[in-house]
Amino acid sequence: MRKITVLEHITLDGVIQAGGGPDEDTSDGFAYGGWAAPFDDDAIGAAVKKMLDMPIDLLLGRKTFDIWAAFWPQHGDIWPNVNTATKYVASNTMTSSEWLPSVFLNGDVAKEIAELKQGEGPDLHIWGSGNLLQTLMKHDLVDNFWLMIYPITLGEGKRLFAKGTIPAAFKVTESIVGSSGVIIMNYERAGAVQTGSL
């Protein structure tokens, strides 16, 4: 069985929108694109490189796929695996791309991804793809959250945990603190939420 890992740059108040650059996602008038750049750090860079070097396939939303398809084919020296990984893309309108290998999921995306998880192949990583993430979380398809948590709040923007997130328990399996204050935490699913008294 394949696991799904969510990899996200995230602010203290949960924003995941446009960490990479000013023009990445300006929807709803978002004006803080590129908020992650001032926190560049060698330790965090090394941890990200380790994730990029893993053999994986990718789950991507349509918007993220469009951004990546315009960039990564010319920058494979930075992340060779991104061009050889199968890109599973959730889209109601797109059926093909020159950036191969790509497979387009339409219709019941949650069902198709659940079937992908049951099949053979490398684990599935999802970067960005905010709308697709909400679908995955609503259907309890996420196994790990590998989060790069930045010491900044924005007060607006698309958030990782939005309405519809199901209750779930997690355990921390990795933690790294960079010199710029960025914290990497890997949260792995650990069953149902337990309750009690303090």
Dihedral-angle region of residue 181 (phi above 0 means left; psi in -120 to 50 means alpha; beta otherwise): left
pLDDT at 125: 98
Domains and CATH numbers, the chain: 4-20+35-157 (3.40.430.10)
pLDDT at 42: 92
For residues 144 and 4, what is the distance between their CA atoms, to the nearest angstrom? 7
pLDDT at 163: 80
Per-residue pLDDT tens over the stretch 146-174:
999 999 999 999 999 988 788 999 999 99
Q: Which residues is 188 bridged to in the sheet?
A: 144, 171
pLDDT at 36: 96
pLDDT at 165: 86
Per-residue pLDDT tens over the stretch 74-94:
998 999 999 999 999 999 999
Residues of the chain where predicted confidence (pLDDT) is lower than 70: none
Kindly compute the dihedral angle of the four CA atoms of residues 193, 147, 64, 72, in this order, to the nearest 10 degrees.
Answer: -150
Spatial contact of 30 and 18, defined as CB atoms under 8 Å apart: yes
For residues 98 and 58, what is the distance between their CA atoms, to the nearest angstrom? 16
